[in-house]
Amino acid sequence: MIDKGSYSFSTCWNIKRHTVGREMIEEIKELGFRNVELNYNVTEAMMRTIEPMIENGEIGVSSVHNVFPFIDDKDYDTDSVMLGFDDEEKRKRSVELLIRSMEYANRYGAKAVVVHPGEVPFDYNIDSDLKKLYREQGKDSAAYQQLWQEMLERRERLSPLYTKRIQESLEIVSEHAAQKGWDIALGIETRSRCYQMPSLMEAKTICENLKGGPVRLWYDIGHAMMMDRMGLYDNLKELEEVKPYIYGVHIHETLELSDHWCPYVHSKDLEYFDHFLEAINFAKVKVYELKAVCQPAEIDESHQLITTKISARKG
């Protein structure tokens, strides 16, 4: 396998195959990666065998994904209101958990914490129903358009309130980090469900309002492609606007509304993903976030295409 240099690789690829942390990291190292992103399913038990690897320099940690390490609580999982909770106690707990993730990031020498900051809450998973309609009847169908408008009306009406709440929570975390002297970015990630936050413009607002602090955009390429397809925002146009705020990227490609595939390789499209090469090159932390079915040879091929294309652009 070719050495992947400064690129990092998320443990989401193989975490379900392993119970022992060291074995999980060894498998990632075999792909040619020297750095990992520890995702939110990594447990404290797994860390007992991974920590010595970090201390001995066997592996570097580029980033950790909030909430880290894993906690078994649906209120604070990756699809929750999180930093925007109406309930003050829950919001306080979300802030504490993010600070805990930052503590681990600091301990492991990571550059960033990836954060799912929140959502506009709905009574049910409206995104799941929309995706079903998209697949079965198409984006232009009356059924999709009607439900989409319902979702959008609520999302747009409540977005300012939840944006403000998320911002206030991030401000508390940022102040804590400053007091501790931590040099760690808080990367708010573009999300995979249409009611989740932030959209690219919501991220821009939050980053602008917290200028001078550690809050930046974590641009998840596949998620942004998916939200563009569903109609939430114009990904390519808005990417130009938010590029200065990007700190990290999750590298993967979306086929229709299915994400975490190897760029270029699984779509068989050797051009469209070129739109994201500048953002990848610009990002300080570059992490592959791929699904378990992606094979080592496919990961290798995808990486070679990305790095060769970026080099050609520079050249």
Does residue 63 form part of some domain?
yes
Structure tokens at 129: 């129903």
Does residue 141 form part of some domain?
no
- pLDDT of amino acid 315: 79
- Whole-angstrom distance, CA of residue 118 vs CA of residue 234: 21
Does residue 144 form part of some domain?
no
Does residue 107 form part of some domain?
yes
> Which of 115, 114, 117, 2 has its CA nearest to residue 61?
114
140, pLDDT greater than 90: yes
Say if residues 206 and 173 touch (Cβ distance below 8 Å).
Answer: no
pLDDT tens-place string over residues 19-36: 999 999 999 999 999 999
- Sign of the Cα torsion 15, 20, 24, 25 reads positive
Q: How confident is the model at residue 2 (pLDDT cuts 50, 70, 90)?
A: confident
134, pLDDT greater than 90: yes
Does residue 263 form part of some domain?
yes
Average pLDDT over residues 70-89: 93
Does residue 2 form part of some domain?
no
- Whole-angstrom distance, CA of residue 283 vs CA of residue 285: 5
Does residue 101 form part of some domain?
yes
- Whole-angstrom distance, CA of residue 300 vs CA of residue 265: 10
Say if residues 218 and 247 touch (Cβ distance below 8 Å).
Answer: yes
Task: Read off the amino acid at residue 259.
Answer: D
Average pLDDT over residues 150-156: 98
- pLDDT of amino acid 77: 86
Residue 91 sits in a domain of what CATH number? 3.20.20.150
**Tokens 């999709």 appear where?**
144
- Global pTM reads 0.97
Q: How many CA atoms lie within 13 A of 254 on its CB side?
A: 19
Task: Read off the amino acid at residue 156.
Answer: E
- pLDDT of amino acid 78: 86
Q: How far is CA 129 from CA 113, 137, 158, in A?
A: 31, 12, 20
Does residue 3 form part of some domain?
no
Q: Rounded to the nearest 10 degrees, what angle do helices 142-180 and 126-137 cross at?
A: 140
- Give the domain range for residue 172: 8-118+165-314
49, pLDDT greater than 90: yes
Average pLDDT over residues 165-176: 98
1, pLDDT greater than 90: no
> What is the separation of C-alpha 233 from the centre of its chain, rounded to a whole number of angstroms?
17
Q: How many folded domains does the chain comprise?
A: 1
- pLDDT of amino acid 191: 97
Average pLDDT over residues 276-296: 98
